[in-house]
Amino acid sequence: MTDVNTDVERLSQNKSFGGWHKQYRHQSAVLNCSMRFAIFLPPQASNDNPVPVLYWLSGLTCSDENFMQKAGAQRLAAELGIAIVAPDTSPRGDGVADDPQGAYDLGLGAGFYLNATQPPWAAHYRMEDYVLQELPALIEALFPVSDKRAISGHSMGGHGALTLALKNPQRFTSVSAFSPISNPSRCPWGIKAFSAYLGNDREQWLAYDSSELMRNSPQGEHLPALVDQGLADDFLSNQLHPETLEDAAQASGYPLTLRRHEGYDHSYYFISSFIDDHLRFHAQYLVG
């Protein structure tokens, strides 16, 4: 995408650790609706010193606000000189399709970071193109940031971070995830979402399955990858399946570090406990 509409509305701004947290709304051409995103700019960011960006993708039911308010990432991001961008998890607004039963795991808040092909979802649900193309173009046009990007996320967002990085290694320096949905083509959340958004051809689902993508990743396209998983996570055995990602990495020689943590659950208490590790991991590749 070469042209981007830079007309944005600032909704809020708050100074934090010498930098700024700002929230914006803009009209997305890709999603055909109004979208919201948040950005943390560290104090080092200036036109003479553009800083690299970590994109954070949140999980089911979340928005741009969950990570920015709960993870406690700003202190170390300010120290390291890394901007953080958090988009919403799905298109929203009048006319945007939602689950008719109001379920939390399909429709609004549950975009799964893919490009839907099935009606009525295909009209708006193109989160893959939004996160990969439109949003970075907007961020890089408006703010003092460079085109060095890393990506991370939680749960559904961990799935999104891994799939986007695995499919587009040239666009990112590194990838990490907390409690990702690692094998969505074989878990209830993924089967429900993929059936609706992509149709019943399961071969099409594999383009959005981290385990399948990692298993078939060419050697020359590997990115450093870090995954953290809590062992007290209620979704671990039924939805997340980190073991399939681990098996895929072993099969392809992918440089995956997968850490398991006794007692930690699926919440932001877990994320805030280890977010510094992830920021330092990405800083190795973003800033050296």
Residues marked as catalytic: 155, 233, 266
Q: Which of 189, 174, 40 is nearest to 113 (CA)?
A: 189
Neighbours of 148 (CB within 10 A): 16
Q: Which of 246, 209, 215 is nearest to 228 (CA)?
A: 246
- What per-residue string of b and e applies to 97-116 under the rule 16 or more CB within 10 Å gives b? bbeeeeeebbbbbbbbbbbb
CA distance 103 to 159: 20
CA distance 60 to 235: 13
Q: Judging by beta carbons within 10 Å of its beta carbon (0-12, 13-18, 19+), is residue 83 exposed, middle or buried? A: buried
CB 11 within 8 A of CB 36: yes
CB 232 within 8 A of CB 32: no
* 3-state secondary structure at position 150: strand
Strands, E assignment, the chain = 8-16, 19-28, 33-41, 51-57, 83-87, 145-154, 175-178, 225-230, 256-261
